[in-house]
Amino acid sequence: MKVFLLFGLVALALAEVRRFEGEKVLRLKPVMDEHVVLIRELAASIEFDFWSPDSAEMVTIDIDVDIHVPAAYLDLVSTMLQQSDMETEVLIEDLQVSIDAQTGPTSRTHSHSYTNYNSWDEVQSWIAAISTSNSALISKQSIGSTYEGRPMTLLKLGKKSNVTKPAIFMDCGIHAREWISPAFCQWFVKEALSTYGSDSQMTSLLDQMDVYVLPVFNIDGYDYTHKSNRFWRKTRSRTSGTICRGTDPNRNFNASWCTTGSSRHPCSEVFCGSKVESEVEVRNVADFLRRNKADIKAYLTIHSYSQLVLFPYSYTYDLAADHSELLKVAEGASSALRSLYGTGYTSGPGAPTIYPAAGGSDDYAYDIGVKYSFTFELRDTGRYGFLLPASQIKPTCMETMLAIKYIAAHVQENL
Ligand code: ARG
Ligand code: ZN
Catalytic residue among 23, 57, 178, 377: 377
Distance 314 CA to ligand 2 centre (A): 13
Report the atom number in ligand 1 closest to the C-alpha of 313: 10
- Cite the DSSP H helix spans in 91-152: 95-103, 120-130
CB 363 within 8 A of CB 315: yes
Q: Is 347 in the pocket of ligand 1 (CB under 6 A)?
A: no
Nearest to 181 by CA among 410, 351, 400, 23: 400
Q: Is 375 in the pocket of ligand 1 (CB under 6 A)?
A: yes
Does residue 393 carry a pLDDT above 70? Answer: yes
pLDDT band at 48 (very low <50, low <70, confident <90, very high): confident
- In 158-289, DSSP assigns E strands to 167-172, 210-214
CB 372 within 8 A of CB 411: yes
Measured by CA distance, the residue closest to atom 10 of ligand 1 is 360
Distance 245 CA to ligand 2 centre (A): 17
Could you tell me which residues come within 8 angstroms of residue 212 by beta carbon, excluding any fewer than 6 positions away? Answer: 154, 155, 156, 157, 167, 168, 169, 170, 288, 296
Residues 303, 45: Cα–Cα separation, whole Å: 29
Q: Is 158 in the pocket of ligand 1 (CB under 6 A)?
A: no
Residues 106, 104: Cα–Cα separation, whole Å: 6
| CA separation, residue 278 to residues 153, 177, 359, 378 (Å) | 20, 21, 12, 27
Q: Is 360 in the pocket of ligand 1 (CB under 6 A)?
A: yes
Complex ipTM value: 0.98
pLDDT for residue 369:
98
Summarize pLDDT for 270-283 with one digit per residue, the tens. 999 999 999 999 99
pLDDT band at 1 (very low <50, low <70, confident <90, very high): very low
Distance 261 CA to ligand 2 centre (A): 14
Ligand nearest to the CA of 54: 1
- In 49-122, DSSP assigns E strands to 49-52, 65-69, 87-92
Burial code (b: 16+ CB inside 10 Å, e: under 16) for 17-54 equals eeebeebbbbbbebeeeebbebbeebbeeeebbbbbbb
Distance 57 CA to ligand 1 centre (A): 14
Q: Is 250 in the pocket of ligand 1 (CB under 6 A)?
A: yes
Summarize pLDDT for 162-198 with one digit per residue, the tens. 999 999 999 999 999 999 999 999 999 999 999 999 9
178 is an active site residue: no
What average pLDDT does the structure give for the chain?
Answer: 94
Q: Is 260 in the pocket of ligand 1 (CB under 6 A)?
A: no
Does residue 216 carry a pLDDT above 50? Answer: yes
Distance 356 CA to ligand 1 centre (A): 8
Residues 187, 299: Cα–Cα separation, whole Å: 18
Q: Is 210 in the pocket of ligand 1 (CB under 6 A)?
A: no
Distance 304 CA to ligand 2 centre (A): 6
Reply yes or no: is the peptide bond before residue 313 cis, omega within 30 of 0.
yes
pLDDT for residue 57:
85
User: What's the Rg (C-alpha) of the chain?
Assistant: 21
Report the atom number in ligand 1 closest to the C-alpha of 250: 12
The overall pTM is greater than 0.90: yes
Q: Is 54 in the pocket of ligand 1 (CB under 6 A)?
A: yes
Pocket probe mutation, ligand 1, options 304, 314, 377, max atoms within 8 Å of Cβ? 314
Q: Is 303 in the pocket of ligand 1 (CB under 6 A)?
A: yes
- Partners of 245 in the β-ladder: 238
Q: Work out the number of other CB atoms within 10 angstroms of the CB of residue 128.
A: 12
Report the atom number in ligand 1 closest to the C-alpha of 359: 10
CB 393 within 8 A of CB 114: yes
Residue at 380: amino acid letter: D
Question: Mutual orientation of helices 393-413 and 180-195 as an angle, nearest 10°?
Answer: 60
How does DSSP classify residue 271? B
Measured by CA distance, the residue closest to atom 2 of ligand 1 is 303
pLDDT for residue 222:
98
